[in-house]
Amino acid sequence: MRMMEKYSVDKGNEIFFMDTLVQREVFNLLERVGKKMKVQNNDYDSFFAGLSGASKSCLQKINGDTFKRCKYLIFPINSRVHWFLLVFHAKEGIFKMWNSLPDSFILRACRNLASFLVGWVRHNSNFVISDYNVLRERTRHQGVSLDCGVFACIWVDCLARDSAEMWEYQNTVKIDTYRARLAASILSHERGLLKNNFDQLSL
């Protein structure tokens, strides 16, 4: 996702993503708040104080400017060993859930995070998101497999590139084919294991 974030900036379709470790920490604190997992307006400062330094740094980047500047804001979620995405579509001004399984707990998780983000960005920068709802994006289903993480990655790829060709590709590509392409991209990246090993061999 960091690769795609940089790619989107270079191509003029900037995206923002929140690290999954931040999502987990936010959810852990929200569970301590109560069953409704909602932070009251005057409690955001104390909630923020309970986070780690890395999570604080990430949340401070989620402000009105980010919501105005980025085409998509992507919040990857890992819940009950399942990966899915909460995505804010800036042009439409709405949150959408990108998910390869139909489980109801996933929609609840997305709504809890969306509610927190709406309150946080209002508290952090007085930026108001009027639509609190989370809509389901029509997506491919993973079937009987463990491919949820690969589906999440291909959707991030699509959102970063945002081209008709890429959207069509993700509808038809075999998931194992994309998995191989994804692995090759990560390994050959400037910080990837494969490139680093080749650089060492060339010395």
All structural domains of the chain, each given as residue ranges with its CATH number in brackets, are: 2-139 (3.40.395.10)
Element (H, E) at 37: none
Rounded Cα distance, 15 and 73, in Å: 6
Considering Cα of 183, then 188, then 193, then 197, what sign does the dihedral take? positive
pLDDT digits (tens, 9 = 90+) for 66-82: 999 999 999 999 887 89
- Tell me, what's the pLDDT at 194? 52
> What is residue 52's predicted lDDT score, i.e. its pLDDT?
95
pLDDT given at position 154 = 92
Residue 54: the pLDDT is: 94
Phi-psi region of 143 (alpha: psi -120 to 50; beta: other; left: phi over 0): left
| pLDDT on residue 130 | 84
Q: How far is CA 87 from CA 49, 90, 159, 165, in A?
A: 26, 9, 10, 21
Residue ranges in the chain whose pLDDT is less than 50: 196-203
Helix (H) or strand (E) holding 26: helix 20-33
The pairing of beta strand 82-89 with beta strand 94-98: antiparallel
Q: What is the pLDDT of residue 40?
A: 86
Residue type, 49: A
Compute the distance between CA of residue 45 and CA of residue 56 in angstroms, rounded to an integer: 11
Residue 157: count other Cβ atoms within 10 Å of its Cβ.
21
E strand spans, 53-191:
72-79, 82-89, 94-98, 134-136
pLDDT at 200: 44
